[in-house]
Amino acid sequence: MWVAAAESPQFEELRGRLLRFVLPATAGFLLWFFVFIGLNAWAPGLMGTKVVGDLTLVLVLAVAQFVSTFALTAAYVRYANRRLDPLADEIRGRLEGVRT
């Protein structure tokens, strides 16, 4: 039963929808993270640039890391609720119907 579900066109569609969001989002976030780390390592003068008062660029970008993490999480939750969960519920319903 589980193998048949995993090989079904609906499950393939679900996996495709997941990967279409997760792969680009992960790649983009990792790129952003490693650029931040690289700038800290190889451009400390730039990162020490004062933006406003004693607020430096490194602090602004560090806060942006947290903000982007929460934004990405919110985007995934919204995507999952709209594009993944309905199809997953449909697949689950079919499987539960087979079991009974």
Q: Does residue 96 have a pLDDT over 60?
A: yes
12-68 confidence digits (pLDDT tens): 999 999 999 999 999 999 999 999 999 999 999 999 999 999 999 999 999 999 999
What pLDDT does 98 receive? 67
CA atoms within 13 A on the CB side of 11: 13
Residue ranges per domain, the chain? 2-99
SS (H, E, C) 48-80: CCEEECCEEHHHHHHHHHHHHHHHHHHHHHHHH
Mean pLDDT of 82-98: 92
Please, is 48 exposed, middle or buried when counting C-beta atoms within 10 Å of its C-beta (0-12, 13-18, 19+)? Answer: exposed
